[in-house]
Structure 1
Amino acid sequence: MRYTDTFAKELVEKMTLDQKVGAVLTLGFAGVVPKPYIYDFIEKYHCGGLRLSCDMRTFGSYVDPKSGKTVVDVERQTGIKYKQTAPTCTAGEYAAVLADLQMAARKRSLGIPLHFSFDQEGGSSADFCFGGVNIFPKPMGLTATGDKELTYKAALETARQSRAVGFNWVHSPVLDICSEPRNPEIYTRSYSDDPAVVADYAAATCRGLRDGGVIATGKHFPGRGHSCQDAHFGVPVIDVDRETMERRELRPYRALIAQGLLPSIMIAHSIFPAIDPDNIATVSRKVITGLLREELGFEGVITTDSMTMGAIATRYGVANACAMALAAGADLVLMKAENELVGETVDTIKAFVADGRLPIEELNDKVYRILALKHQYGLFEEPDAARDPEREVRDPAVKALAAEIARKSILVARDADKLLPLPTDKKILVLEQKVKEYNDMQWHSGILYEACMRQSRHVDYQETAYSYDDADKTAIMARARDYDLLVITSYFLRGKLSNREWLEGFLADCKTPAVIVTNTPFEEISIPKNARNVVITFATSPANVKATAEVLFGKCKAEGKIPVKNGISVSAEAMV
């Protein structure tokens, strides 16, 4: 390939093999307190970047929600007993942590800065979820607003808030088409079931992220919306013909590549028989080099998804899969385990280089692409001391934008019993799932109940686990009869069992009228089929929850429109 960035080219020429191998690694950092081994990742292994998981104390293994069994054991022996949540910190405090890590990277012989990658798709998919940050709805909620300009503004403000803290590489937007509503991993992470809509709204997101100075990542190539399997726990097979893939899965990628809006793309841990029936796409040269690089003409950085996920790790082994992905054409491997797998991965990649399975010329090209992208986005520049993360998250204009988007995304799908707006003189019980382990004043358990309390003094609370246990079911049945109305959350989150089927039986027997508040438009995963009154909020994050309470009590109008053709019917008459 032709090296046009002289700065990046000269860096590659100066690098040792160890430095080059490190440059293609995104390693994991969970929590807000770096342990000594995190500095080893930077100084000993020369890692190119860290994938940040700010809300957990330690990176955990993937546990199948159906069987309860650990799919891949990647936990490090740290002495930590209570692993749920990291200490709550402010945006400024976390910025200081990242600045210290970046300083360690800049002290390396070539001064190559770290990229700090994270998820910030919207709603509960938010690694930056603390310190009062303004969080927007999931992608499908943005589509529900019907306003691409608002989508651009949401991405721009997400980037501004994040870049002020130190984040600089976001694993978003999701370009998967939500063609299978039972998909337990994609659902509202997709903009729509219409490829043209996905392309348009994702383009707005990419522009906003670019203008805010954060590297965007389209995912999961070639597209894993058409599956009922979660890649965290097994191998999705996207068994569709090439013609369908061209019309559906590949359309957003072709459009955004042509517009120059995708600086990086993430590969799906899935098998696509129409392209390569034998290999998961992450290690398939036919998919990465043949389809994405050569046929679609993509010249940016190609990254893997997490190499500790069940789909890839159980089939190939983590370290081996990392090296195989690079040999197949990936530029960056995302290896989040904070243990001995780091050393094993480095050694395995070097073995691939030594025996020619990963030619040194190809490794050089990978390193160049990564460094050129970092250079393009200003990562080599000194940090702007004037950027105050606290000021960014407190900006009244951003808070107003979050409130506007929340109001315009929420929709009333059914009101067959004419319960809305809820009366303020009736006894109402809010049955609310525990949705967030993080526990600061902005985002914590019970925020829907608290928002409803601001509307009525006659509201009580029953907290439940995300997936009901026996105690939850007993409490719900015992308390429901004592109230005039029920507000019941029926949220769905990947990796959690849904309460939908149990709620169908409960609603069939319960005499107390109920409004279901859910975060997806799909009966297949979150909406009881016999629910007569349904409000859809596309995020369980603070702005959308507050707006949901205002919709329930008639303080504001729900302005959202159903964003998919394969979602819930919005005909109230059909429920009468």
Structure 2
Amino acid sequence: MTKLYDNNKDPKKREAFINDLLSKMSLDQKVGQCFTIHWGGSMVTPYVMEAVERLHIGGIRVTPFGQNSRRGQHYHQSLNYDYDYPKDYKKIKQNLFIPGPAVYVSPEQYAERLNQLQALAANRNPGVPLHVSIDQEGDISRDFSFAGINLFPSAMGLTSTGDPQLVYEACKAVALQLSAIGVTNLHSPVLDVNINPNNPEINIRAYGDDPDIIAEYALASIKGYMDGGLVPTAKHFPGRGDSDIDAHYAVPNVPGDWDRLDAVELRPYRALIEGGLPSVMLAHTTVPAADPSMQISTVSPEIVTGLLRERLGFEGVITTDSITMGALMEKYGVAKSCALALKAGCDLILNKVEDEFRDQAWIETKRFVEDGEISEEQLNASVKRVLTMKYNLGQFDKMGQVDAAQAGAPIRDQRLIKLSTTVAEKCCTLLRDTESLLPLRPEQTVMVIEQQVLDGYSGFDVFCNNKCFNQAMVEQSKNIYCVDTKFKATQEDTDFLMNYVDEVDVIVATNYYWRLCPANNTALIRQLIAKGKKVIVVTNCPYELGAVPEAVTVICNYSVTPESLKAAARMIYGKLDSQGTWMLKHYAKPTEANMESTYEIKGGITDSGDNEIDQVVF
């Protein structure tokens, strides 16, 4: 158990404080504490203010890079918004912006805005600070990319360092930077055992494909997060690694009997629960070994209460994944899904919408309590766990306020800056170079083809943007043709760059994995190879999806972050040796080019058109 959660606080004093607070709360306030709602961008609008003041929400899930609204792209867009509201109920205000990247916000400015929302929460009677959650897993799964924040590779990249202590330091660095801004909760680490290399949703977000390795590195991660001041949330329980379906669009299934479930999916959870894990996030999946009725796990009492609480003995906070993912919505809709999840034993509902589904979910959950479908005793137990989590974190000491003027200090800490470079270099791996194309010489003429990651997801300031790899290559040589394409090159992209390929000696092309766009630049790379061109592939994914089978030279850096792209560029020009450790147990290191391709992806966004998303997706 690490320092943040070792109960240094007097347990009797804590119990008395929480019980007194709970006794002063109305039913409306208790229901509100069970919700985490989404706040995108950095504008404190009436929609989020009213959610704090009228819905009494317990916390917010922040996405500073993206502005969403009622007009945004959700996975539940096809659902009907009709609902039988109570008489005279006045709905919370909504955002009606055109969705897209949000304006740049500095750490200091963002901390000021979070302080503003915390002040609203403190003025409630009784005052309860907000928990502030974020996704910052690593690689491209990161919700704060501004101002030169020190970023780190994916979970699989962390494992590739072969150094759990370095992983601890990296995760502590993530937490130190985010907690200074005002973030309190991190929706990480991913404990999914990525057995299926065709997994479109988990992939390199997992620490690997072996439960014991995952447990070791995830345990180092949670200790780092906690020592850095955040509440980590392990996900996606009970597991989503053995699937070729994305739960955002359909319902995955965890196969096998109890022995298989216990030995594979549950093994990392047992280790982390024993190690002091404070929070768990449910997956939207079916698990016949735990619930033969095939009920989706988020709303399954057998899985939430029977398996996680009773069999595994977990006593911390249980949250849902985004309740608006398609796997659940098509069956129950938003409002009922929220109420059913709380009834099943969840404590927090992650409701990532900015429309009237927020009101409906709050009303429906309150109705479940009033009608006796959720007992008041169960509701109190959930609220008590949420309040205890905040108390243990010290949020009541300053009611969630941080020193906004110092919010950027950890980002500028030279130790963290150096650590970000070290971790990027330690996991950068040369998978193969069968024709000895490396190292390149500065006098060789090189075309660099870099995929565009949508603004926001890539970051879009001078420190982090979708031209970082081109910039890193130019720092190594001026003999560079700088090129970019859509994430999956369009026909127009391909036709244009083919006019120039004969002018260069070698081509360096990125071929990243990104959950939102599973079809990448494999087709373009194959076309270039078929044309007889020398192609070096840089990917963040060691599986066939990234490491194109036909390519004779492949570098895997496990990340699209600036430091990882610099590491790949240095390796290409012979200034960095391959340092990554191959930690996958069920997938052989691709050391030779293989003309046979077996990769197939199911579910999720299919390979149609240009495979592009044109706005942020929540």
Query: Normalized against structure 2, the TM-score is what?
Result: 0.88
Q: Distance in 2 between matches of 1:148 and 1:357?
A: 45
Residue number among 276, 282, 285 corresponding to 1:267 in the alignment: 282
Tell me the equivalent position of 1:476. Answer: 497
1:390 partner SS: coil
Separation of aligned partners in 2, 1:384 and 1:476: 49
> Mapping of 1:29-108 within 5 angstroms?
29-58=39-68, 60-62=72-74, 78-81=95-98, 83-108=99-124
In the alignment, does 2:430 pair up with 1:412?
yes
Equivalent residue number for residue 192 of structure 1 = 208
Structure 2 counterpart SS, 1:457: coil
1:507 Cα deviation from its structure 2 partner? 4.1
Rounded to whole Å, the distance in 2 between the matches of 1:7 and 1:416 is 65
1:370-385 correspondence to structure 2 within 5 Å: 370-382=386-398, 383-385=401-403
- Counterpart of 1:80 in structure 2: which amino acid? F
2:565 aligned with 1:536: no
1:201 is matched by which residue type in structure 2? Y
Once residues 80 and 27 of structure 1 are traced to their aligned partners in structure 2, the CA distance between those partners, rounded to angstroms, is 18
* Shift of residue 111, structure 1, vs aligned partner: 1.3
**Deviation of residue 218 (structure 1)?**
0.6
Residues 40 and 65, structure 2, Cα contact 8 Å, conserved in 1: yes
**Within-5 A mapping of 1:71-470:** 78-81=95-98, 83-260=99-276, 262-276=277-291, 277-382=293-398, 383-385=401-403, 388-437=406-455, 438-470=459-491
The change in CA–CA distance for 1:515 and 1:70 in structure 2 (over 3 A counts) is farther
Do the aligned residues in 2 keep the contact of 1:264 with 1:303 (CA within 8 Å)? yes
**In structure 2, how many angstroms separate the alpha carbons of the residues matched to 1:28 and 1:340?**
13
Cα distance in 2 for partners of 1:301, 1:280 equals 19
Superposed displacement of residue 498, structure 1: 1.6
Amino acid aligned to 2:251: V
- Opposite residue 583 of structure 2, the aligned amino acid is P
Q: Is contact 1:133-1:161 (8 Å) kept?
A: yes
Instruction: Kindly state the Cα deviation for residue 500 of structure 1 after the two structures are TM-superposed.
Output: 5.1
Letter in 2 for 1:545: L
User: Is 270-279 or 2-11 further displaced after alignment?
Assistant: 2-11
How far apart, in 2, do the equivalents of 1:504 and 1:33 lie?
Answer: 41
How far apart are 1:297 and its partner, in Å?
A: 0.6
In 2, Cα distance between the equivalents of 1:566 and 1:201?
17
Number of the residue aligned with 1:66: none
For residues 350 and 143 of structure 2, the distance between their equivalents in structure 1, rounded to whole angstroms, comes to 16
SS in structure 2 of the partner of residue 534 of structure 1 = strand
CA RMSD for the aligned pairs? 1.9
Match of 1:58, as an amino acid? N
Q: Deviations over 1:487-528 (max 9, x none)?
A: 0000010121323551463144122201000111100x2222
How far does residue 570 in structure 1 lie from its aligned partner after superposition?
Answer: 3.9
For residue 72 of structure 1, report the CA deviation from its aligned partner: 6.1
- SS of corresponding position for 2:411: helix
- The one of 572, 576, 583 equivalent to 1:563 is 583
**Counterparts of 1:38 and 1:77 in 2: how far apart (Å)?**
9
CA 1:71–1:569 in structure 2 vs 1: closer, same or farther (change >3 Å)?
farther
Q: Provide closer, same or farther for how the CA distance between residues 463 and 391 of structure 1 changes in structure 2, counting only shifts above 3 A.
A: same
In 2, Cα distance between the equivalents of 1:482 and 1:432? 18
- Asked whether the 8 Å contact 1:507–1:530 carries over to 2, the reply is no
CA distance in 2, matches of 1:45, 1:117: 18
Q: Quote the offset at 1:80 in angstroms.
A: 2.5
| Alpha-carbon shift at residue 278 of structure 1 (Å) | 2.5
How far off its partner does 1:79 sit? 4.1
Structure-2 change in CA distance of 1:501 and 1:158 (3 Å): closer
Q: Which residue of 1 aligns with 2:614?
A: none
Cα deviation, 1:238-297, whole Å, max 9, x if unaligned, reads: 22221111110000011111222x100000011111122421000000000000001111
Seen in structure 2, the aligned counterparts of structure 1 residues 432 and 567 have a Cα distance that, compared at 3 Å, is: farther
Q: 1:73 Cα shift?
A: 8.7
SS at match of 2:409: helix
**Corresponding residue SS for 1:402:** helix
Counterpart-to-counterpart distance in 1, 2:35 and 2:111: 22
Which residue in 2 is equivalent to 1:18?
Answer: 28
Q: Distance in 2 between matches of 1:305 and 1:102?
A: 23
Evaluate the alpha carbon distance shift between residue 436 and residue 135 of structure 1 in structure 2; reply closer, same or farther with a 3 A threshold. farther
Query: 1: CA distance between counterparts of 2:591 and 2:367?
Result: 61
Supply the distance in 1 between the matched residues of 2:78 and 2:423 (Cα, whole angstroms): 38
Partner residue in 2 for 1:8? 18
Greater shift, 545-554 or 424-433, is seen at 545-554
Measured against aligned partners, the alpha-carbon deviations of 1:41-67 in whole angstroms (never above 9, x if no partner) come to 00001000001011111153246xxxx
The 2-side partners of 1:73 and 1:498 are apart by: 31
CA distance in 1, matches of 2:217, 2:518: 30
1:513 is matched with 534
The alpha carbon displacement at 1:566 in A equals 3.7
Equivalent pairs, count = 565
Given that residues 430 and 459 in structure 1 are in contact (C-alpha distance below 8 angstroms), is that contact kept between their aligned partners in structure 2? yes
Mapped to 1, the partners of 2:307 and 2:495 lie a distance apart of 53
Once residues 308 and 390 of structure 2 are traced to their aligned partners in structure 1, the CA distance between those partners, rounded to angstroms, is 21
Quick one: percent identity of the two aligned structures? 39
CA contact (8 A) 2:181 2:402 kept: no
Cα offset, 1:574, TM superposition: 7.6
Cα displacement string for residues 101-137 of structure 1 (whole angstroms, at most 9, x for unaligned residues)? 1111111111100000000101111112111100111
Letter in 2 for 1:475: F
Moved more, 3-12 or 171-180: 3-12
In structure 2, the CA distance between the partners of 1:566 and 1:507, relative to structure 1 (3 Å rule), is farther
Measured in 2, the distance between the counterparts of 1:480 and 1:499 equals: 20
C-alpha deviation, 1:417, in angstroms: 1.5
- SS of the aligned residue for 2:273 comes to helix
Task: Report deviation, 1:558.
Answer: 2.4
Task: State whether residues 181 and 566 of structure 1, in contact with CA within 8 Å, keep that contact through their aligned partners in structure 2.
Answer: no
> Does the CA-based 8 Å contact 1:139-1:188 persist in structure 2?
yes
Corresponding letter in the other structure for 2:316: G
Taking a change above 3 Å as real, the CA distance of residues 455 and 501 of structure 1, as seen in their structure-2 partners, is closer
Give the letter for the 1:406 counterpart: A
